[in-house]
A and B are shown apart, each in its own frame.
Chain A
Amino acid sequence: MQNVLTQKSPSLGVVIPHYICGALFFVVLCFLILFSSDAFIGHYFHPKLLAITHIAALGWGTMIILGALYQLLPVILEVPLYSERLAKVTFITFTTGVICLAWAFWNFYVSIHIQVAAILLLLSFSLLVVNIVLTVNKAPKWTTEADFIVTSSVWLIFTGLLGALMAFNFTYPLLNKSHLLFLKIHAHMGIAGWFILLIMGVGSKLIPMFLLSHNLNTKKLTIAYYLVNIGLICFSADIFFREENAFLKLYALLIAAGILFFMSFIYEAYKKRVRKQLDIGLKHSFMAFLFFLLPILLGIIMSFKPSLNDKFMLQIYLVYGTSIFFGFISSLILGQTFKTLPFIMWMHRNSKVAGKQKTLLPKDLYSPKLVKAQYVVYVIALPTLVIGILLSMPVIIKIGAMLLLVTAILYTINVFKIVVPNFKPTNK
């Protein structure tokens, strides 16, 4: 065949381990929440909470996002991934780093254990950035999506660098200000800089593609890009160099406005969609955007420093973090997994016989019943968990965590159903 665009999607060995590992981390994460509900009542600088947060952010969120990113970079940038070997090495150092970090935080081993973890993670982020930048470099043209992806990976490096500095600071006093101050920057660089910018970049390409939406106003994305970055740079620099909180409201509003511009772009894609019926994967994704409104609102409220009692403010901080990781990011992953993972498996397994015989479609590789059950349980789990944390009620937190665990198990079963070669297609 002549003149055919070759996609050169990555091999399964690059993508699949991320999904398997991410799903297993999600199950472990839910177990840990279930058995440490007391930690959710009190200060966020708690060893168990730090372990849970890093498993959520790295072992679950980043792990799956990396798997998806390796799969989607060729789609978004129209070039193959620069190096699969580098991606595999990154996976090994990253997974080892996450396990070491979680272990170190859980037991509060803040000397050599946490330092090794920090170095491994920083190394992984650096390797990832090299791979992303060199892939983008090969792209036929620089796109808005490339802006988001490259910038988010730079933020990831800064997040890791500050995290490593804090890890070493436990033993060697390198930072001359309060740890909590740096934690605030570290968390927001990770959330807004890495997760949100990356999701914006990838989502702005994928969601319209899945919905068959065209003629969208991409200026909204450019505005979103600048608002989030300016807000985040000013926020980080002000706290890092001046310990200054005077303009916190302004930075929060800039970042929130940026996110809202992105959400407006997604809403436009939704309104202009040709594909009227949303499958369960897309419903989960739109639920994620709905859940995202809560942390945006809480972020703005916190920046105004309302005169609430300290105890309640701490619970609000926890709800803020929980609603980002277990609301927005988790819901997006829980949905988008079924829009991405089955396709790469299907391409590698079934595409060779496409046209020669009747084959299964990608959506036949997983159980839609399990995804629906996962969706229903999750939609109950998240508000339960959030309410439990807000009201400082361990029993409600436990119920929420248990439901979240059911969600994680259903999700993991489906992931294995997709990736295990001798799968049995579901009877529908």
Chain B
Amino acid sequence: MENSIGSEITEVEIYDALKTVIDPELGVNIIDLGLVYKIEYSEEKGIEINVTLSTKGCPMADVIMDDIQTTLTENFPGIKLNVQLVWEPTWTSDFITPAGKAELE
């Protein structure tokens, strides 16, 4: 995962914010599910997020994407957001963090 830390916003803050976004079916946050591929911040481009889904055509896609958008807007008001849904690399269960795996078990 590529990360850069801006002068106003830190990687940890973005991570923490995204950790509140829950996959409604699995009940696990998207960071621990390994769905977030890229978090970048620059004053010029704002916050750039690349996110994937566990399955193409996931019925929760819109909800998760809306939730990311809303969460980031609330936590970082006035900052430009660019949230992209990507399919490369294809998500596998190897991307789930140990904490995520523990929750799923």
List residues of chain A with CB under 8 Å of any chain B CB: 1-7, 9, 71-72, 74-78, 205, 208-210, 212, 214-215, 274-277, 343, 346-347, 351, 354-356, 361-363
Known contacts A210-B25, A355-B20; can you find 5 more A-B pairs with CB under 8 A? A1-B65, A209-B55, A212-B93, A351-B66, A355-B69
B84 and A354 form a contact (CB under 8 A): no
Report if A77-B59 is in contact (Cβ < 8 Å); known contacts: A4-B65, A274-B104: no
A73 to B, closest residue via Cβ: B57
Interface residue total, chain B, C-beta cutoff 8 A: 36
Cβ of B45 within 8 Å of any chain A Cβ, yes or no, is no
Measured between beta carbons, the chain B residues less than 8 angstroms from A9 are: 59, 62
Query: What does the 1/0 interface line of B74-88 toward A look like (CB < 8 Å)?
Result: 100000011111000
Report if A361-B24 is in contact (Cβ < 8 Å); known contacts: A3-B85, A7-B62, A347-B63: yes
A-B residue pairs in contact (CB < 8 Å), sample of 14: A5-B62, A7-B61, A209-B55, A210-B25, A212-B104, A274-B104, A275-B26, A343-B59, A351-B66, A354-B67, A355-B67, A355-B70, A362-B24, A362-B25
Query: How far apart are the CA atoms of A109 and B21 in the complex, in Å?
Result: 58
Most A CB atoms within 10 A — which of B21, B60, B74, B96? B60
A149 to chain B, nearest CB (A): 13
Cβ of B10 within 8 Å of any chain A Cβ, yes or no, is no
List residues of chain B with CB under 8 Å of any chain A CB: 20-22, 24-27, 54-63, 65-71, 74, 81-85, 92-93, 96, 101, 104-105
A351 and B55 form a contact (CB under 8 A): no
A344 to chain B, nearest CB (A): 8
**Which residue of B22, B69, B70, B105 is within 8 Å of A276 (Cβ)?**
B105
B65 to A, closest residue via Cβ: A4
Measured between beta carbons, the chain A residues less than 8 angstroms from B54 are: 209, 212
Report if A1-B83 is in contact (Cβ < 8 Å); known contacts: A209-B54, A276-B104: yes
A5 and B25 form a contact (CB under 8 A): no
Most B CB atoms within 10 A — which of A212, A214, A276, A354? A354
Report if A277-B66 is in contact (Cβ < 8 Å); known contacts: A343-B24, A356-B74: no
Query: How far apart are the CA atoms of A322 and B43 in the complex, in Å?
Result: 66
Report if A75-B105 is in contact (Cβ < 8 Å); known contacts: A2-B82, A210-B25: no
Query: How far apart are the CA atoms of A3 and B48 in the complex, in Å?
Result: 13
